[in-house]
Amino acid sequence: MVSRADRSPFAEWLWTVDRYLVAGFIILMIGGIVLSFAASPAVAERLGIDSYHFIKRQAMFLLPALALMLAISALSPRMVRRAALLLFAVALVMMVATLFIGMEAKGARRWINLLGFSIQPSEFLKPALIVLVSFLLSEGGRRPEVPGTLFSLLLFIMAAALLVAQPDFGQTMLLALVFAALIFLNGLSWMAIVPIGTLGVGGLVAAYVMLPHVQSRVDRFLDPSSGDTFNIDRAIEAFVAGSWFGRGPGEGTIKRVLPESHTDFIFAVAAEEFGIVVCLLLLLVFTFVVLRGLSHAAQDSDPFGRLATAGLMVLFGIQACINMAVNLNLMPAKGMTLPFISYGGSSLLATAISMGFVLALTRRRPQASRSDSVIVSRLSPASLS
């Protein structure tokens, strides 16, 4: 047991980090491995590879992701900003490279091969962009001469343009929602909400009219008879077949014909094998983590910490909600992973970085007392002159 009198770096981290958040993230990571055992062997068998191929790869990324999250959680807010800037620059360069030398799949270039690993740079761009936008908005509020809103808008447009070029409209919409939330939390005038909301709706309408695959997904959601709804139909069957308590580990059958059961539809596999009760428990963990993170943000006196923590938790929560909603046929398919749960090294590492930022920004730090402030003001150069 580490004593509170211990002044070592580890002891300082242990007594200042939110251990409940750490526990929540670790539970989700372990849940991802368990559900990978349930969902991925069927996919591997369909591809004619080792049944445990995806499980091994997920486990291979798990420990580095956990170590990365805990290491980042020890950073100061200033170091978080610097790390985010470096990550943003690297991800930006990789996203540009992806457009030219990336691997093409289903008409999109979202992945790049680096040192034998397939990396999705947009996953790493998201948390970095949120931290930088939060810093710019907070600086703009603290120093009127800094055009923080304009600079943050330019960064968002740059990131969105690269996402649209891939194309990846699901991630673009996700980033737009988080960016809008940050602008709102920063003190958006109510008079500006209507025009911005109108602009957002206009963008969705334009995407529906101009992009055939977007129109197809929306049409199939509104009218299932208008196209192929195989994936969603199988996902709903999995929920029905699993009922409250599931068929049992390894007893699922629908997962054997459900495409992307280890990524986009892993929530449906959880329902079939472990039941709706386990799905609700999983939802409860996500809800606890998001609400606790937002609670920290609400209590943070530093504008940067408040905005960055809130933005990262909104990103985490919305992405989880989109994945679950798609599995339940509550919204059109988006191809969004379930954070910490779905298979994918890029998703796991990027989510670990994002939540490492949250842990770093929500650590308890000593606040200067009023008496300390008075003493400092009395000893200032102005008072001594």
pLDDT digits 0-9 by tens, 91-109: 999 999 998 888 877 667 8
Q: How far apart are CA 251 and CA 191, in angstroms?
A: 55
Give me the pLDDT at residue 282, please. Answer: 95
Each residue of 321-356: pLDDT tens digit?
999 999 998 888 777 889 999 988 899 999 999 999
Handedness of CA 101, 102, 103, 104 (dihedral sign): negative
Cβ-contact 287, 316 below 8 angstroms? no
Residues 6+ away with beta carbon under 8 Å from 129: 88, 155, 156, 159, 175
Each residue of 134-188: pLDDT tens digit?
999 998 888 887 788 889 989 999 999 999 888 888 888 899 999 989 988 888 7
pLDDT confidence tier of residue 39, bands split at 50, 70 and 90: confident
Give me the pLDDT at residue 215, please. Answer: 79
Give me the pLDDT at residue 6, please. Answer: 63
188, part of any domain: yes
Give me the pLDDT at residue 48, please. Answer: 83
The CA-atom distances, in angstroms, between 307 and each of 18, 82, 144, 182 are 18, 16, 18, 6
244, part of any domain: yes
pLDDT confidence tier of residue 382, bands split at 50, 70 and 90: very low
Q: Looking at this protein, which amino acid is placed at residue 315?
A: L
Q: Report which of residues 114 and 239 the model is more confident about.
A: 239
Q: How far apart are CA 108 and CA 141, in angstroms?
A: 39
Question: What is the tally of structural domains in the chain?
Answer: 1
The CA-atom distances, in angstroms, between 145 and each of 38, 141, 184, 267, 332 are 55, 9, 20, 48, 43
Which CB contacts under 8 angstroms, 24+ apart, belong to 28-31? 28/285, 28/286, 28/289, 28/339, 28/340, 28/341, 29/62, 29/65, 29/66, 29/340, 29/348, 31/282, 31/285, 31/340, 31/341
379, part of any domain: no
49, part of any domain: yes
Could you give phi then psi for residue 108, rounded to 5 degrees?
-130, 150
Which residues face 108 on adjacent strands?
105
Q: Which residue, 347, 271, 361, 270, is CA-closest to 316?
A: 347
Q: Which residue, 245, 319, 322, is CA-closest to 280?
A: 245
Could you say which DSSP state residue 226 is in?
Answer: G
382, part of any domain: no
How confident is the prediction for the chain on average, in pLDDT? 85
Return the H-helix or E-strand segment holding 288. Answer: helix 266-299
Give me the pLDDT at residue 229, please. Answer: 78
Say how many C-beta atoms besides its own lie within 10 A of residue 220's C-beta.
18
Could you say which DSSP state residue 227 is in?
Answer: S
Does 210 score more than 90 pLDDT? no
Each residue of 219-239: pLDDT tens digit?
787 777 776 778 888 889 999
Range(s) of the domain holding residue 321: 9-364
Strands (E), 198-282: none
Does 18 score more than 70 pLDDT? yes
Percentage of the chain with pLDDT > 90? Answer: 45
pLDDT confidence tier of residue 371, bands split at 50, 70 and 90: very low
Q: What angle do CA 334, 335, 339 make, to 5 degrees?
A: 110
Does 384 score more than 50 pLDDT? no
Return the H-helix or E-strand segment holding 117. Answer: strand 117-119
Q: Which residue, 280, 348, 363, is CA-closest to 26?
A: 348
Q: Report which of residues 101 and 378 the model is more confident about.
A: 101
264, part of any domain: yes
Q: How far apart are CA 232 and CA 373, in angstroms?
A: 60
Q: What is the mean pLDDT of residues 283-307?
A: 94
Q: Looking at this protein, which amino acid is placed at residue 73?
A: S
276, part of any domain: yes
351, part of any domain: yes
User: Against a cut of 0.85, is the pTM above it?
Assistant: yes
